[in-house]
Amino acid sequence: MSSRVLVTAALTYANGSPHIGHLLEAIQTDVYVRARKLAGEDVVFMWAADTHGTPIQLKARDLGIAPEELIKQIHADHLEVYRGFDLGFDIYHTTHSDETKFHAEQVFRAIEQAGGVETREVQQLYCPHDQMFLPDRFVKGTCPKCHSPDQYGDNCEKCGATYDPTDMKEPACSLCGTKPVLKGSEHLVVPLGKHETFLRSWLAKEGSTQLQESVRNYVMTWVDGGLRDWDISRDEPYFGFEIPGHPGKYFYVWFDAPVGYIGATQKWCNDNNKNVDDYWRSTPADTEIVHVIGKDIVYFHCLFWPAMLNAAGYTVPSRVQVHGWLTINGEKMSKSRGIFISGRAYLEHLPPAYLRYYLAAKLGSGQDDLDFNFEDFVNRVNADLVKKAANLASRCIKFIGGRLGGTLGEPADDAAQLLATAATRVQEAKDLYAAFESGRALRKAMEIAEDFNLYLTNAAPWKLTKSDPERARAICSAGVMASKLIAAILKPVLPRWAEQLETMLGLPAPLTFANAAEPLPAGLELGKYTALAEPIDIKKLEAIMEASVPKPPPEPEPERSFDYEVEPLAAETSIDNFVPIDLRVGLVTACDKVKKSKKLLQLTVDLGPLGTRNIFSGISQSYAPEELVGKKVVVYANLKPRKMRFGLSEGMVLAAGADDTAITVLELHDRARPGDRIT
């Protein structure tokens, strides 16, 4: 066992408030940390907000405030929400800090001195109006392949072509519309190929790094496919740290973001009289470094990050634990479609314990996606927490309090075996937690509750209050003891539950995995029972989701503001340009999903006297096929038929919407006749 353990959750990007997806990871990390602490290990949870990069810079500009001000506000918000969920991090720092800057520079200098940094001349689009180089997604223009207008600088959503923003026709800055110019710039790159030997050993199956098998395989495909150079610099203006010795160049946000882990540790060490080198200049055998991340950032944490650390002489991670995505009622989260839960909205309606329990109960060590299902949530919380665990404590403590003078006795002999099994389960749970198997660990607690609820029913102490009160006391005392063991297992997930029970039982010391099985003294005066968990109603969850979705502004302000952007208005034109476009009323008579296609639906559209058409439309992410059947839609009917992979598309169905998942097909009133021209 290492003498020290340092755990991190991924840094939350400081451009918004944490949502339930962030909380999944935070809770997973917190449960892991608390469990290992409860096991008596020296564990710290180092965390921070990720504050640099173009999106934050631009958001601050839109709000008319300095980026420093923006991230300060957001940091405060993160801290409040995360504390609200009882997350036991030792620090929630920020990457925009002296400590992170210091270590980012250290890492960079070390790599540079070892000859690990090279320069490359990069030609990039530059907006003379905004006076900045434009990342690919900030360029809009016409696709060089299919000539669709208004596509992003990296690929075309219409034809799927990929290209360089410099290849686009009529490129424009997406911020101001100005035509960007091509400008050369020198970038600093780290040729990752130089670190291949190290990375292979770090990733090796036989090595000491703990990685999920699927993660290891995934990363190895990158290594085997040839490691590319990593561009670590960005030109000013860029919200971040200037690179030492390279004026006007800034660290790319992904260079300094993970260094935020070290920065947070440095700050915490400064404040707590510890030595940062014990953590980050140690050997993995001496200090475990465990990163909990989502599957989107595996690339950074399993390639760049260990390579950087190793090259700069820092401790490399000993474990990277990857989790999947959170879906809500089986659907991907999406603010625009109202499928979204913010941490803040949750806290306004429900106690954090339920979410912590639900997510921890569903989490295992795999990286499967996890569904937040409302019905399941209510069932699980009510059945496990309320009906099983809380009820066991309630029936025993209340029984002793109400009928037996509130004094605990020795646990009954016939419960000894069950209590021994329960004590074993606590130890098993400890190990399960350390393996990120919180779901299984919690099951152990429920097994204890099931055992003892049954035991109590069979032993029926309520029949003995008159005839044999001491026997009744012994039975219930065993139940109280079981509740204590359950609370120990629940403690990493439900710290407040454990504290409440500690108070009711008047425990001399906080519960740990080690002391959980220590007997309670006979003669102990029990405190009054206070409810450990209350049943919840599914309506609460619906209310939370509603409250999470940004509401439209109550009254239109003099200057209307929108939370979305639309394409700029096309150039003015005459009616002559409209005439050649023949739009017709079409009745959708059949509609099916296209196999092997993510976006397409295949429609059969009746144009009345003009016959029927087969039309493919990229709206499958917004419509179920059956929704469209019987609808009257607008068809661009003289559009040249287009051969697609799945067949011939004979026209186009008109629709509105920027996002593939939020498209609205134009529908006509029922009195429109199929085939009628639209003018």
Q: What is the nearest approach in angstroms of RNA to the Cβ of residue 457?
A: 4
Binds RNA (CB under 7 A): choice among 146, 159, 181, 454: 454
80 sits near RNA (criterion: CB under 7 A): no
Q: What is the nearest approach in angstroms of RNA to the Cβ of residue 603?
A: 19
Binds RNA (CB under 7 A): choice among 388, 473, 484, 491: 388
300 sits near RNA (criterion: CB under 7 A): yes
499 sits near RNA (criterion: CB under 7 A): no
Looking at 1-9, 194-202, 397-405, 410-418, which segment touches RNA (CB under 7 A)?
A: 397-405
Residue appearing with tokens 């400008």: 183
Q: What is the nearest approach in angstroms of RNA to the Cβ of residue 91?
A: 26
Dihedral sign for Cα atoms in the order 586, 591, 597, 598: positive
Q: What is the nearest approach in angstroms of RNA to the Cβ of residue 422?
A: 14
How many of the chain's residues bind RNA (CB under 7 A)?
Answer: 59
183 sits near RNA (criterion: CB under 7 A): no
162 sits near RNA (criterion: CB under 7 A): yes
| Residue 6 DSSP code | E
Q: Which residue lies nearer to RNA by CB, 96 or 301?
A: 301
456 sits near RNA (criterion: CB under 7 A): yes
242 sits near RNA (criterion: CB under 7 A): no
Ramachandran region of residue 276, left (φ > 0), alpha (ψ -120 to 50) or beta? alpha
313 sits near RNA (criterion: CB under 7 A): no
Return the H-helix or E-strand segment holding 454: helix 438-459
For 127, the token pair is: 């907006």
604 sits near RNA (criterion: CB under 7 A): no
* Residue 339 CB partners (closer than 8 Å, separation 6+): 328, 329, 331, 332, 333, 545
Q: Which residue lies nearer to RNA by CB, 614 or 661?
A: 661
What is the number of other CB atoms lying within 10 angstroms of the CB of residue 311?
Answer: 20
CB 427 within 8 A of CB 450: no
Q: What is the DSSP string of 289-316?
A: EEEEEEGGGHHIIIIIHHHHHHHTTPPP
Could you give the count of Cα atoms lying within 13 Å of 52 in the half-sphere of its Cβ? 27
Taking residues 538 to 567 in sequence order and writing x for each that binds RNA by CB under 7 A, - otherwise, the string is ------------------------------
Q: What is the nearest approach in angstroms of RNA to the Cβ of residue 105?
A: 20
CB 48 within 8 A of CB 88: no
Binds RNA (CB under 7 A): choice among 167, 196, 376, 410: 376
Binds RNA (CB under 7 A): choice among 466, 560, 596, 669: 596
Strand partners, 583: 636, 678
Q: Which residue lies nearer to RNA by CB, 407 or 515?
A: 407
154 sits near RNA (criterion: CB under 7 A): yes
427 sits near RNA (criterion: CB under 7 A): no
Q: What is the nearest approach in angstroms of RNA to the Cβ of residue 117?
A: 15
| Residue 252 DSSP code | -
Q: How far apart (Å, rounded) are the C-alpha atoms in residues 71 and 15?
A: 8
Looking at 484-492, 530-538, 574-582, 647-655, which segment touches RNA (CB under 7 A)?
A: 530-538
Looking at 67-75, 292-300, 341-349, 570-578, which segment touches RNA (CB under 7 A)?
A: 292-300
399 sits near RNA (criterion: CB under 7 A): yes
For 143, the token pair is: 């696709």
414 sits near RNA (criterion: CB under 7 A): no
556, with CB counted inside 10 A (0-12, 13-18, 19+), is exposed
368 sits near RNA (criterion: CB under 7 A): yes
CB 78 within 8 A of CB 12: yes
369 sits near RNA (criterion: CB under 7 A): yes
394 sits near RNA (criterion: CB under 7 A): yes
3-state class (DSSP) for residue 209: coil
Q: What is the nearest approach in angstroms of RNA to the Cβ of residue 190?
A: 10
Binds RNA (CB under 7 A): choice among 145, 158, 349, 398: 398
Strand partners, 568: none
CB 543 within 8 A of CB 71: no
107 sits near RNA (criterion: CB under 7 A): no
Return the H-helix or E-strand segment holding 503: helix 495-505
Taking residues 197 to 236 in sequence order and writing x for each that binds RNA by CB under 7 A, - otherwise, the string is ----------------xx--xx--x------x-xx-----
CB 159 within 8 A of CB 144: no
462 sits near RNA (criterion: CB under 7 A): yes
Respond yes or no on whether the N-terminal peptide bond of residue 469 is cis (omega within 30° of 0): no
- List C-alpha distances in Å: 656 to 150, 189, 533, 567, 624: 14, 42, 47, 11, 17
Write b or e for each residue in 570-594: b if 16 or more Cβ atoms lie within 10 A of its Cβ, otherwise e.
Answer: eeeeeeeeeeeeebbbbbbeebeeb
Q: Which residue lies nearer to RNA by CB, 274 or 295?
A: 295
Site for RNA in 321-350 (CB under 7 A): 332
Binds RNA (CB under 7 A): choice among 386, 419, 426, 485: 386
Question: Which residues contact RNA by CB under 7 A?
Answer: 136, 154-155, 162, 213-214, 217-218, 221, 228, 230-231, 254, 295-296, 299-300, 304, 332, 362, 364, 366, 368-369, 371, 373, 376, 379, 382-384, 386-388, 390-391, 393-395, 398-399, 402, 446, 450, 453-454, 456-458, 461-463, 531-535, 595-596
